[in-house]
Structure 1
Amino acid sequence: MSNAHHRKKQPVLVRQQLLEVAARLAASDGMAAVTLDAVSAASSVSKGGLLHHFPTKNALLDALFESLLEKFDADIEELMRGDPLPQGRFTRAYLRAVSGLKERPDDSRSWTQVTIALLAEPRLRLRWRQWVQARAEEYIGTDSSLDAQVVRFAADGLWFADTLESHDINGVLRRDLIDRLVELTGR
């Protein structure tokens, strides 16, 4: 007799495991490698179990994107808590979270694949746009200056350059660039 029927079901843990496996596959082999069969096999969760949580590949990719956004939000919130200056606090945290992705290889690889998917998937672009708009509205009192907007656009450019590995922005240059952008956030 199989033990599967006697195991305690833990749907939240299984869902998280599936998302972690999908992120790992995306990071190592690209978004095309994130198939329902591949995630099922790599997670040791039956295809039926996977389909219970994510009925389609798009549902899985959407959940993966949401999971990364939640982690990104948590990183930004943590950075904001450590910043005593209200003016530009969100923008500094956003800049530091974006520039810090390069220092966290697992996060960086996952975001690289998702960023590439953002370019191709209208529903992901819409979700990102909603995230950006919600933060703009939430922090309108402290982060709506032109300088703050310039810094966020520069952070996006840095993110894109890191994603494409198109520029050698390391060491002193990177630190000086980020320091200069941080200076702009207090205006």
Structure 2
Amino acid sequence: MEMSLAHHRRKQPLIVRQQLLDVAARLTMEHGMAAVTLDAVSGASGVSKGGLLHHFPTKNALLDALFESLLDRFDADINDRMREDPVPHGRFSRVYLRAVADLRESSDEAAHWAQVTVALLAEPRLRHRWRAWVQERTEEYVGTDSSVDAQIVRFAADGLWLADMLGSHDNGGDRHALIARLVELTNK
């Protein structure tokens, strides 16, 4: 009796898991949250439904993992940037602003991740997770980033992020001046 190729294929669960997350992200970006079904992800990824269910037993588990993956990447970017900024006062607010602003100007992949993140924030439990991340970071940097100016910068960064996602504002060359002015606020 001949075994199927699946039985001969080397198991690589981390690679398969990431492949499933990438497909779910692409489907969300291209067709919206409603398009992310277990059948659609299984079909588009080439992973059997059983293989998908092994990693993500429900759609919510898949979306939760996708959001956590995005948040982990964003958090790692923030941490990397924090290490490169030598001035403690306002550092988190500056770094958050730059990370958000760079989403628009960086690779297509980063822009896609940002769009997927906005779509995922429509889910209440994921929105709660985002709020928890913001609260954790705000509390962590209360000694350096609690001024009203630092808060204004973070709120402006959120507005910039939303405007970029919606394509609602094209401030062209003024964008760099806007970001520079906001960075100045973090030094007060």
Q: TM-score range by the shorter chain?
A: over 0.9
Report the equivalent of 1:162. Answer: 164
| Contact 2:28 2:119 (C-alpha < 8 Å) held by counterparts | no
Q: What is the 5 A alignment of 1:96-175?
A: 96-103=98-105, 104-118=107-121, 120-170=122-172, 172-175=173-176
Shift of 1:164: 1.2
| Contact 1:27 1:106 (C-alpha < 8 Å) held by counterparts | no
| Contact 2:67 2:120 (C-alpha < 8 Å) held by counterparts | no
Aligned-pair Cα RMSD in Å: 1.3
For residues 41 and 6 of structure 1, what CA distance do their matches in structure 2 show? 21
Report the equivalent of 1:7. Answer: 9
Task: Provide the TM-score with structure 1 as the length reference.
Answer: 0.93
Q: 1:61 to 1:139 in 2, by over 3 A?
A: same
Q: What is the 5 A alignment of 1:15-164?
A: 15-103=17-105, 104-118=107-121, 120-164=122-166
For residues 138 and 17 of structure 2, what CA distance do their matches in structure 1 show? 31
> Any stretches of 5+ residues in structure 2 without a counterpart?
none
Shift of 1:106: 2.1
Shift of 1:130: 0.3
For residues 81 and 95 of structure 1, what CA distance do their matches in structure 2 show? 15
Give aligned pairs, total. 185
For residues 116 and 44 of structure 1, what CA distance do their matches in structure 2 show? 24
Shift of 1:105: 2.4
Counterpart code for 1:116? A
Counterpart code for 2:163? A
For residues 135 and 51 of structure 1, what CA distance do their matches in structure 2 show? 33
- Identity fraction in percent: 69
> Any stretches of 5+ residues in structure 1 without a counterpart?
none
Report the equivalent of 1:180. Answer: 181
